[in-house]
């Protein structure tokens, strides 16, 4: 079976009590070696802050694990992003933010490639 090599990550995460969730922290800690020298982008969501506070907290953690957080991100403020049925409303600005963030993650992945140990 061929080995899947991942050279970047995007975390989609809620804000939970001004931080990120415990299951995400557990995954980050468990896969310490797999994260090294790989960029990470963030899609965060929440009510008042859209998850921005959680992203700021997790950036400290991922840099300690030798990951490179992308500066660009996608922020979803749920109060304005959901319709009456609780469905996500399409938003061209959010789509544009995702494109910019993904472009940065791809650029960082190429820049960090020489630092990663082959699997």
pLDDT, tens digit only, all 119 positions of the chain: 555 578 999 999 999 999 999 999 999 989 888 889 999 999 999 998 999 999 999 999 999 999 999 999 999 999 899 999 999 999 999 999 999 999 999 999 999 999 987 65
Q: What is the pTM of this model?
A: 0.90
Q: DSSP secondary structure string, the chain?
A: -PPP----EEEEEE-BTTB--HHHHHHHHHTHHHHTT-EEEEEEEESSSTTHHHHHHHHHHHHHTT-EEEEEEEEEEHHHHB-TTSPBPP-HHHHHHHHHHHHHHHHHHHHHGGGSPP-
CATH homologous superfamily for the domain 10-115: Flavodoxin domain (3.40.50.360)
The structural domains of the chain, with segments of one domain joined by +, span 10-115
């Amino acid at each position: 079976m061929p080995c899947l090599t991942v050279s970047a990550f995007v975390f989609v995460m809620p804000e939970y009590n001004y931080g990120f969730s415990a299951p995400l922290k557990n995954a980050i800690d468990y896969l310490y070696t797999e994260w090294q020298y790989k960029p990470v982008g963030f899609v965060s969501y929440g009510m008042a802050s859209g998850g921005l506070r959680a992203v700021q907290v997790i950036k400290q953690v991922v840099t300690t694990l030798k990951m490179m957080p992308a500066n660009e991100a996608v922020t979803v403020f749920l109060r304005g992003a959901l319709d009456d049925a609780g469905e996500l409303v399409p938003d061209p600005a959010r789509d544009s933010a995702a494109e910019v963030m993904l472009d940065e993650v791809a650029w960082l992945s190429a820049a960090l490639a020489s630092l990663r140990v082959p699997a």
